[in-house]
Structure 1
Amino acid sequence: MSSKHFINDPTHLVNSALRSLVYTNPSLALDSTNKIVYRRPSHAPRQVSIVSGGGAGHEPSFAAMVGQGMLSAAVSGTIFASPSSEQIRVGVQARVDTSRGVLVTVMNYTGDVLNFGVAVEKARAAGIDVEMVVVADDVGVGREKGGKVGRRGIAGTVLVHKISGALAALGRPLSEVAKVARLTAENLVSVGASLEHVHVPGRAITDSAEDKLEIGEVEIGMGIHNEAGSGRAKIEFPELVARMLTQLLDPNDSDRNFLHVNSNEVVLLVNNLGGVSVLELAGITAEVVEQLEKNWSIRPVRILSGTFMTSLNGLGFSITLLNVVNTDIGGPGMIELLDAPCEATGWSTPIGKKTWEEKNTAERSDTVNEQKAIKDSGLKWDTAVATAALTKALERLISAEPEITKYDTIVGDGDCGTGLKRGAEGVLSHLAANPFTGDVVVDVANIVPVIENTMDGTSGALFSIFLNALVHALRRQGPGRATANVWAAALQSSADALGKYTPARPGDRTLVDALYPFVEVLGKTGDSGKAAEGLGWVLNAPRVCYLV
């Protein structure tokens, strides 16, 4: 043991914490290899499955939110790190019922959005009906600092889980469940505050960090991974709450006024970031409720106080407000869905007697074989021409690696060239052992796992999203010949799909600067030569294009 933690091995800690959920809720099972907690198969009526997840360290989110009336499965990464796209793919395709569709809910962090996005596109390419909702409720970072990435997702996410989970349990279709999840996310605002940064188990303990908070100093808007907020101050507690509520509600703050509370019904969630005592959290809750009524004339119709989303043992709390609006689905409203029963240990509702007595021991052991899932599309191409062109392009890319690495070392983190080289070498090896079949969809789909296994990091995730979307788009083109116009339409669809997961656009000094002009010119002319000629200004520019 150390002075900070009883368990200092982060891998053992995450794995054992996931196992504990199966012990405390008998309706759950654990895929330990992929760190997936999921509901055991049962005879209950089929419903839309809801999958979420993220880095460990935020418990009880996400894994403890799995259960009847809430999530169907949650995928865990290591502490404060997104799970891989492969973990998520297994969760979406093999650990939940996909017959009525799947809703994937993720917080707005780059790694989470990209890796969950890869899994979503792969599921769509496999023919599964999937919707994805990104929750971004944190006002701690305003519009100016948030930029294109936008707000972070924090504790308000659990309200999205609860409301959408209750609706799914009623048997409503995916279109309605996704609509209400998005509506809930759009009507959420949250902000946190903490007295100190948290320490991650297994890391060296230092007290000399430059960003360490002083005694009595609080960081307003601190993120759940120790990210900086809007500022630090030495103030009394009532003034701290007043500042936080102002950031949530002040209509004159153009940088943070993300929500106009125009409803007679507001839900308040006061969340413990992990290190605040039950006694003190109760005092915090009382202060928040009283200031809301006194200074803002808001009397919440529901007040939730407890530990819902932590930052390990963070010595802080967060405030979330949900503006209750009409769901327009001809059925239950947000409050009714919030009140609905559920059996998730992270949501303070006890597990029912019936679940304990069922003694359900069923488990899912399905595996998803990507190769067997690929069906001929009838869309054909000339394999000799395709092989020669792709081989030449990959060899030129490998030879350019030193120059790409040189420039990326100047403006990036230096891994762009080596990542592209690994991917290119992997595809060349694949082609040598697996010649093209002549079916475009089958051939491109067979390349996708090569890219996923050889290219890592943000660029690997983006290439994976693009190629998975390309497989889906090409299949939709139907049987026939893969002409330039067919490729143009498919590539445009893939570029549009990529735009859902990254804020990068032409002019942002990324690889998108080359991709978008090529797709645009190819779509207008149907001539790949002209499309390539239009890239001269990009490829000859005195900078490297790298992915953000």
Structure 2
Amino acid sequence: MQSKHFFSDAGYLGLSALNSYTLTNPSLGFDPENKVVFRRDTDTRKPKVSIVTGGGSGHEPAFAGFVGHGVCDAAIAGTIFASPSTEQIRNAVLDRVPTEKGVLVIPMNYTGDVLNFGVAVEKANAAGVRAEFFVMGDDVSVGRKKGGKVGRRGIAGSVLIIKLAGALAEAGGNIDEIQGLLELARSNLVSVGSSLEHVHIPGRGESELDEVPDGHIELGMGIHNEAGSKRIKATLPEVVSIMLKQLLDQNDPDRSFLKYDAGDEFVLLINNLGGVSPLEIAGLTNEVYKHLQKDYSQLKIVRVIQGTFLTSLNGLGFSISLLRLVDTGLGSGKSMLELLEAPSDAIGWTTAVSPSVWKREYPPVEFKKTTEADTKPTSLKVEFSTLKKILSAGIQRLIKAEPNITRYDSIVGDGDCGVGLRRGAEAVQALLDHDKSLSSNNDVVKILERIVGVVEKTMDGTSGALYAIFLNSLVAGLRAQDAETKPVSTTTWARALDHSVEAVGKYTPAQVGDRTMMDALLPFCTTLQKGDVHAAAAAAEAGAEATKHMQANLGRTVYVGGEDEWLGQIPDPGAYGLSEFLQGIASAL
């Protein structure tokens, strides 16, 4: 693999690359603190739905290259191949794009992106801004059996979804119309990629990944260096034939994601994963088109798009995407093809920036900063001393259980669950003990907002993101009940918890029986509807205990294996830790 780079500092490289978009398109601004590229021409255009996307660096021109008139309003970058943080995304949604017509957030289907973008969406809704969430997934290389509840990964076909969203928003479509269009597009979109080699990340040592042997190709290699569905030795015609079969074989129950009939019209997108020369990409486009004409002549390819849209650093590979054009039901000028061809000045798309953009003088960028303190107070009252007593009881029980949680997670996970939970619990306890402003505050929503901020800063990983989504939506669920001044009751909490469970369900498919923290959380919330906190905590304990006998359907335990050693003995660490916290709360009541 190619391990030589001009830049040795990946962090500096990322910032430099993002800033370059403001040099090539003067209508854009760059917030280096949050790594957000955004449009700053909002004073010259009509109000519209804002489209926000993003993901890890290393996929350029995605995603910052698709910010501009006709596509996106902002894009947020993480480090190489890693999701941006919740705070980066929240900043973009609330402070870098107009919000009066709503904000549609569209990440790709990877766990970190789904969870972190999801937290930001919930925080925006909790702050009173309408934000909706749509996840992009188009890869067919991982079939239904292996993909399971996670679903299809997002790869280069997602670029077409981004363009459709931006064009319809620019044309005045409302947020519901745009979401409907994207759901229609996703159900008619398929992609698959192949690569001759893994990639090397600037600033790192030699990769430990196996090199792909000469003459072989990795079918379905992911855009984050993930191994493909299989490695084969084949000629280019054979490879293209296999890829098209994965895309279009309607008799394959595992990969048949697209239904079509003879005469249906398609857009074909050939994407360069970053390291293939323009000469070879042109040749690959021709090879794919030849095979479509020969083996799938019943399909009508009405547009062919070729280029570098979504990469894997200098990946020595390419992907094929096919979008079936169907009626959008939106009327004249808003067909899929018309929206794809609508004007755009985003550098990552195919249309050059118009001369008028260059002629205009732009004022200096003034950054707005929205903080938790800016959110509106509520009339939902609670005695701080009582709330502190209850939460502290749960926190202390959780801290006491940390050695067991860590031991369990060392066997069935990566060993960091207990440490992460303890770190968050201790930080919340410190807030309750030492922040004098809280002791004089009886607004439960404002208190919880402070706690949420601490959890987000101190808890990382998947569990941290799940807790952040849950707590942010809990705030929104409480705020929705702010009708009149009243003390918070068990019924108030139960309703808010229902809202939280619904919100978490948007970002994870986990249910009772999947061996996750949901095995404790869902029984607690369901039982609390009857008004008995002690019974609800007992239900959470029983749910956590039951995970000892479950095989994992989600989470890192899926990959660990070795069930013979722990099945029937070790509970899910996340479910156990949450159960301990909830039992501690119940003990204080």
Pick the TM interval, shorter chain: over 0.9
Distance 1:122 1:100 in 2: 17
Q: Residue 9 of structure 2 corresponds to which residue in structure 1?
A: 9
Q: Residue 564 of structure 2 corresponds to which residue in structure 1?
A: none
Q: 2:442 pairs with 435, 438, 448, which one?
A: 438
Q: Residue 464 of structure 1 corresponds to which residue in structure 2?
A: 468
Distance 2:60 2:574 in 1: 31
User: What pairs up with 1:394-405 in 2 under 5 angstroms?
Assistant: 394-405=395-406
Distance 1:288 1:362 in 2: 47
Distance 2:171 2:540 in 1: 52
Which stretch has the larger CA shift, 488-497 or 384-393? 384-393
Distance 1:175 1:412 in 2: 40
Displacement of 1:93: 0.6
Distance 1:381 1:394 in 2: 19
Residue by residue over 1:493-541, the C-alpha shift from the partner in whole angstroms, topping out at 9 and shown as x without a partner, is 1011111111222122211111000001111x11111111223323445
Q: Residue 146 of structure 1 corresponds to which residue in structure 2?
A: 147
1:532 counterpart = 2:537: yes
Which stretch has the larger CA shift, 171-180 or 155-164? 171-180
Q: Decide whether aligned partners of structure 1 residues 508 and 285 sit closer, same or farther in structure 2, where only a CA change above 3 A counts.
A: same
Distance 1:20 1:368 in 2: 26
**Contact 2:71–2:163 (Cα < 8 Å) also in 1:** yes
Q: Residue 63 of structure 1 corresponds to which residue in structure 2?
A: 64
Question: Given the two structures, how large is their TM-score scaled by the length of structure 2?
Answer: 0.90
Residue by residue over 1:346-401, the C-alpha shift from the partner in whole angstroms, topping out at 9 and shown as x without a partner, is 1121110100001323424101111222x222122343332211111111111111
Displacement of 1:69: 0.4
Displacement of 1:182: 2.3
Q: Residue 571 of structure 2 corresponds to which residue in structure 1?
A: 544
Residue by residue over 1:16-41, the C-alpha shift from the partner in whole angstroms, topping out at 9 and shown as x without a partner, is 11111110001101001111000013
Displacement of 1:3: 5.7
**Contact 1:458–1:547 (Cα < 8 Å) also in 2:** no
Q: Give the paired residue count.
A: 543
Q: Residue 350 of structure 2 corresponds to which residue in structure 1?
A: 348
Q: 1:474 pairs with 457, 475, 478, which one?
A: 478
Q: Decide whether aligned partners of structure 1 residues 436 and 498 sit closer, same or farther in structure 2, where only a CA change above 3 A counts.
A: farther
Displacement of 1:261: 2.2
Residue by residue over 1:171-217, the C-alpha shift from the partner in whole angstroms, topping out at 9 and shown as x without a partner, is 221111222122222221100000000111111125xx463210010
Distance 2:163 2:385 in 1: 54
Q: Residue 509 of structure 1 corresponds to which residue in structure 2?
A: 515
Residue by residue over 1:112-145, the C-alpha shift from the partner in whole angstroms, topping out at 9 and shown as x without a partner, is 0111011000001001111111011001111111
Distance 1:5 1:402 in 2: 44
Q: Aligned-residue CA RMSD in angstroms?
A: 1.6
Letter in 2 for 1:13: L
**Contact 1:26–1:359 (Cα < 8 Å) also in 2:** no
Q: Decide whether aligned partners of structure 1 residues 259 and 436 sit closer, same or farther in structure 2, where only a CA change above 3 A counts.
A: farther
User: What pairs up with 1:130-141 in 2 under 5 angstroms?
Assistant: 130-141=131-142
Q: Decide whether aligned partners of structure 1 residues 330 and 68 sit closer, same or farther in structure 2, where only a CA change above 3 A counts.
A: same
Displacement of 1:438: 2.1
Q: Residue 527 of structure 2 corresponds to which residue in structure 1?
A: 521
Q: Decide whether aligned partners of structure 1 residues 272 and 398 sit closer, same or farther in structure 2, where only a CA change above 3 A counts.
A: same
Q: 1:215 is paired with a residue of what secondary structure?
A: coil
Distance 1:81 1:544 in 2: 29
Letter in 2 for 1:369: T
Residue by residue over 1:44-84, the C-alpha shift from the partner in whole angstroms, topping out at 9 and shown as x without a partner, is 11111100000000001000110000010000011111111
Q: Residue 32 of structure 2 corresponds to which residue in structure 1?
A: 32
Q: 1:219 is paired with a residue of what secondary structure?
A: strand
Q: 1:349 is paired with a residue of what secondary structure?
A: coil
Distance 2:573 2:202 in 1: 33
Letter in 2 for 1:455: M
Q: Residue 360 of structure 1 corresponds to which residue in structure 2?
A: 362
Q: Residue 484 of structure 1 corresponds to which residue in structure 2?
A: 490
Distance 1:187 1:127 in 2: 34
Distance 2:531 2:129 in 1: 31
Question: Given the two structures, how large is their TM-score scaled by the length of structure 1?
Answer: 0.96
**Contact 1:289–1:299 (Cα < 8 Å) also in 2:** no
**Contact 1:136–1:185 (Cα < 8 Å) also in 2:** yes
**Contact 1:292–1:299 (Cα < 8 Å) also in 2:** no
Displacement of 1:303: 0.7
Q: Residue 282 of structure 1 corresponds to which residue in structure 2?
A: 282
Q: Residue 85 of structure 2 corresponds to which residue in structure 1?
A: 84
Letter in 2 for 1:233: I
Distance 2:347 2:441 in 1: 50
**Contact 2:49–2:102 (Cα < 8 Å) also in 1:** yes
Distance 2:322 2:369 in 1: 41
Letter in 1 for 2:330: I
Displacement of 1:299: 2.6
Distance 1:173 1:537 in 2: 45
Displacement of 1:440: 2.0
Residue by residue over 1:388-434, the C-alpha shift from the partner in whole angstroms, topping out at 9 and shown as x without a partner, is 11111111111111111111111111111111111111111111212
Distance 2:165 2:193 in 1: 24
Q: Residue 248 of structure 2 corresponds to which residue in structure 1?
A: 249
1:307 counterpart = 2:308: yes
| Runs of 4+ with deviation above 6 angstroms | none
Q: Residue 338 of structure 2 corresponds to which residue in structure 1?
A: 336
Displacement of 1:436: 6.3
Letter in 2 for 1:340: A
**Contact 1:95–1:364 (Cα < 8 Å) also in 2:** no
Q: Residue 226 of structure 2 corresponds to which residue in structure 1?
A: 227
Distance 1:547 1:255 in 2: 31
Which stretch has the larger CA shift, 215-224 or 390-399? 390-399
Distance 1:546 1:182 in 2: 35
Distance 1:228 1:316 in 2: 13
Gap regions ≥5 residues in structure 2? 549-568, 576-589
Residue by residue over 1:306-341, the C-alpha shift from the partner in whole angstroms, topping out at 9 and shown as x without a partner, is 111111111110000111111123341111101101
**Contact 1:54–1:83 (Cα < 8 Å) also in 2:** yes
Q: 2:516 is paired with a residue of what secondary structure?
A: coil
